[in-house]
Amino acid sequence: MKARLVLEDGKIYYGESFGYQGEKGGEVVFNTGMTGYQEIISDPSYCGQIVVLTYPLIGNYGINPFDFQSKNSLIYGLIVREHCDYPNHWQADFNISEYLKEQKIIGLSGIDTRALTKHLRKQGTMRGIISTLEEESDQSLIEKAQNVPKLSDFDYVKTATTKRSYEFEGSGPHVALLDLGCKYSIIHSLQEKGCRITVLPATTSAEDILSLKPDGLLLSNGPGDPKKVPYVVDTVKELLHKLPVFGICLGHQVLGLALGGDTYKLKFGHRGTNHPVKDVSSEKIYITSQNHGYALIKESIDNLPVSISHINLNDHTVEGMRHNQLPLFSVQFHPEGSPGPYDSIQLFEEFINLIQNSQKVS
């Protein structure tokens, strides 16, 4: 079946549909990863977005039961150059088209994703409509695309977060994980360190978190604009002097807001598995996995009691910070990878050390 991607600036891309049939609008973004499509489409941070994968062939190793990053996919659409209906991998249970159909996600293939990516890089991230409805005129879809809600219009965290708390046993430190749209791989990384983990809804109050008597707090990744979750920012403010804190991605931005900083929207975001980041103290360069459309304004934290710990080498945005007195630190990238490299996986060990050192002081 024929399908179209229509952008709010009037640009139209024609191709073939796969997966689900219908129509859906969202923010159109691109990911430059060469592998890991299953982890990408199941990453809750993409809630509200139509994802363009720049690698030309997608689906060749199928979909397996082990690499999901959440129970359900929250993406609004998937765009690829070519999709594979006949995967070849011993762990594959079904193909990508079957998965998208099950999840009611529209797929579009057969378009020049390189040209689309270059357009988004030049013009910036924009809203779009992905549609398989042939009776809709191009002009009608352009008007619809121009009326698609912006990512900053809604609190997507409430869609992505868990609705109830749950626990994982462990013999190590007790970590309260505030789920803003958490990837499973963050939980797995804490489990590998032996942590006992309590995963909590994003709306959990500071009082309820402290009642669990955790040893530390992890602020997870998640979708959307960090300024749309003031209730999380207020919770973190109450906990700054009470618990060691580690923030990842959206958690990093929320921690920055709680400390008095500010955020802004990037022109086209950072999404992929190949972003170079410099550790300021060691001058070591990490190749990192990233997925975000917002960043901390450097000038907004210059006068705060924090030090910038990591810098993006592509555009020099803030990729990490550490508090100068309190046991708090955060990174914009994903140390847990999945998909992507594990260059910075030791940050979970640093979090555990931070908790243990804080316990010695207290």
Catalytic residues: 249, 334, 336
- Half-sphere CA count of 23, side-chain side, radius 13 A: 15
Q: What DSSP element (H or E) covers 6?
A: strand 2-7
Nearest to 253 by CA among 294, 199, 303: 294
At residue 341, what is the residue type?
P
What is the number of H-type helices and E-type strands within the chain?
A: 11, 19
Contact 323, 183 (CB under 8 A): no
- Give the DSSP letter of residue 10: S
Q: What DSSP element (H or E) covers 5?
A: strand 2-7
Distances (CA, A) of 179 to 28, 47, 149, 212, 314: 24, 14, 24, 15, 29
Tell me how many degrees the CA angle 162-164-168 measures, rounded to the nearest 5. Answer: 85
Q: What DSSP element (H or E) covers 179?
A: strand 174-179
Q: How far is residue 198's CA from residue 196's CA, in Å, rounded to a whole number? A: 7
Contact 189, 170 (CB under 8 A): no
Tell me how many degrees the CA angle 144-148-153 measures, rounded to the nearest 5. Answer: 160
Contact 283, 253 (CB under 8 A): no
Task: Tell me the β-bridge partners of 29.
Answer: 51
Q: How far is residue 86's CA from residue 75's CA, in Å, rounded to a whole number? A: 23
Write the secondary structure of 24-67 as one string of H (helix), E (strand) and C (coil).
Answer: EEEEEEEECCCCCHHHHHCCHHHCCEEEEECCCEECCCCECCCC
Q: How far is residue 118's CA from residue 287's CA, in Å, rounded to a whole number? A: 22
